[in-house]
Amino acid sequence: MGERMPVLRLQDIDLHYNNSGKPLVVLDRADFILNRGETVALVAPSGTGKSTLLHVAGLLERPDGGQVELCGKSCSHISDDERTKIRRSDIGFVYQFHYLLPEFTALENVMIPQMIAGLDKKIAQYRAFKLLEYLRVAHRAAHRPAELSGGEQQRVAIARSVANAPLVLLADEPTGNLDPVTSEYVFRALAALVQQSGLAALIATHNHTLARQMNRRITLQDGKILELA
């Protein structure tokens, strides 16, 4: 994989919620490094804080303590506007449900984030089509989400998430609603995209078969991030 280049770093992350007057510890001095061009599986039981960890890593939620760094820059104390700009340009998100805009075609769904970022419409259209082509769903570019299969919808969602060439991709059970064959297909498409682009991906999944195909596996235990063999 070449030289290891940290893209995302979590240092001493603390986060707790108030549960009927008692603190519920979700993350306790959690540490994690995600390197350029690697896929890391986050495998842990429900309720252990997987989605919360992704939200903290993706600057959607502020931790109570610790540092979140993206390419060496601390993001913990920057303004909400700055966090939003970083999310739009440097972080891609994929969820269990695709969240595609139903009134737009597959192609338009991938164009929209690029146009919001200020890209010319024709350039956005070209890049969107090339992404759909790479993910083998370009033949469905003119179809709306309701006309696509689950696997096609999720591949379009992946294309949308990387449309602005982010540094980090965060995925929360991206194949959770798919059958095993389609899950494998979608995962392979995602893995190929990571390998070709140098993107760094942290993927929460309950699918141990897919998790074992990634570069590393981590879990959450008592608020700590632990490496799995």
Q: What is the pLDDT of residues 5-17, one digit of tens each?
A: 889 999 999 999 8
Residue 1: the pLDDT is 43
For residues 132 and 138, give the distance between their C-alpha atoms in angstroms, rounded to a whole number. Answer: 5
Q: Report the residue count for the chain.
A: 229
For residues 150 and 170, give the distance between their C-alpha atoms in angstroms, rounded to a whole number. Answer: 19
**Given the structure tokens 């993706």, which residue do they identify?**
58
pLDDT beyond 70 at 3:
no
Q: What is the pLDDT of residues 72-127, one digit of tens each?
A: 889 978 999 999 989 888 999 988 788 899 999 999 999 999 999 899 999 999 99
Residue 64: the pLDDT is 92
Average pLDDT, the chain: 89
For residues 152 and 147, give the distance between their C-alpha atoms in angstroms, rounded to a whole number. Answer: 9
Q: What is the pLDDT of residues 175-213, one digit of tens each?
A: 877 888 888 888 888 888 888 888 899 999 888 888 998
Which residues, other chains included, contact 23 with Cβ-Cβ below 8 Å and sequence gap of 6+?
16, 17
Q: What is the pLDDT of residues 155-178, one digit of tens each?
A: 899 899 989 889 999 999 888 778
Residue 66: the pLDDT is 94
CA 72 to chain centre: 19
Of 109, 118, 130, which Cα lies nearest the Cα of 89? 118
For residues 132 and 139, give the distance between their C-alpha atoms in angstroms, rounded to a whole number. Answer: 8
Which residues, other chains included, contact 60 with Cβ-Cβ below 8 Å and sequence gap of 6+?
87
The dihedral formed by the CA atoms of 122, 157, 146 and 106, expressed in degrees to the nearest 10: 10
For residues 226 and 114, give the distance between their C-alpha atoms in angstroms, rounded to a whole number. Answer: 36
Residue 193: the pLDDT is 81
